[in-house]
């Protein structure tokens, strides 16, 4: 059972580790330097993927219903985003930004919602 749980969580942990590594860097190359606040799009996107990976891990490692797994995944993703912002407070040339955390949270919500909608639709098709 524990082996299955580790396998379920491995993609989410690896992605969270990647995000931690990136946020530990004093500077990152700008992807779209001429677009104001484009970093919010980046936060939204990478935490959207984290949300998908977390809800998948929750579903594969627990018996929670889809809606409860979705709530758990949103909470986990948002708390991780907040912890990552706090972590950046201690990284030279980085800052703790509530708007980045907001983008992280909304990205996570969208990722979880997309996953939940897909799973819900898939389970409806298999029950007919």
Burial class of residue 79 (count of CB atoms within 10 Å of its CB; 0-12, 13-18, 19+): middle
Question: Could you tell me the residue ranges of all domains in the chain?
Answer: 2-24+39-127
Average pLDDT over residues 39-44: 94
Q: pLDDT band at 51, cuts 50/70/90?
A: very high
pTM of full prediction above 0.85:
yes
Q: What are the pLDDT digits (tens) for 73-124?
A: 999 999 999 999 999 999 999 999 999 999 999 999 999 999 999 999 988 8
Q: pLDDT band at 32, cuts 50/70/90?
A: low
Identify whether the C-beta of residue 112 lies closer than 8 Å to the C-beta of residue 86. Answer: no
């Amino acid at each position: 059972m524990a082996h299955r749980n580790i396998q379920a969580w491995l993609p989410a942990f690896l992605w969270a580790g990647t995000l931690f590594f990136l946020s530990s860097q004093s500077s990152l190359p700008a992807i779209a330097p001429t677009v104001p606040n484009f970093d919010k799009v980046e936060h939204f996107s990478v935490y959207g993927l984290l949300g998908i990976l977390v809800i998948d891990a929750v579903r594969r490692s627990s018996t929670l219903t889809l809606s409860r797994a979705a709530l758990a995944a949103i909470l986990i993703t948002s708390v991780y985003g907040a912890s990552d912002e706090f972590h950046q407070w201690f990284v030279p040339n980085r800052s703790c930004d509530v708007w980045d955390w907001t983008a992280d949270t909304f990205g996570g919500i969208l990722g979880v919602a997309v996953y939940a909608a897909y799973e819900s639709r898939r389970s409806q098709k298999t029950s007919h």
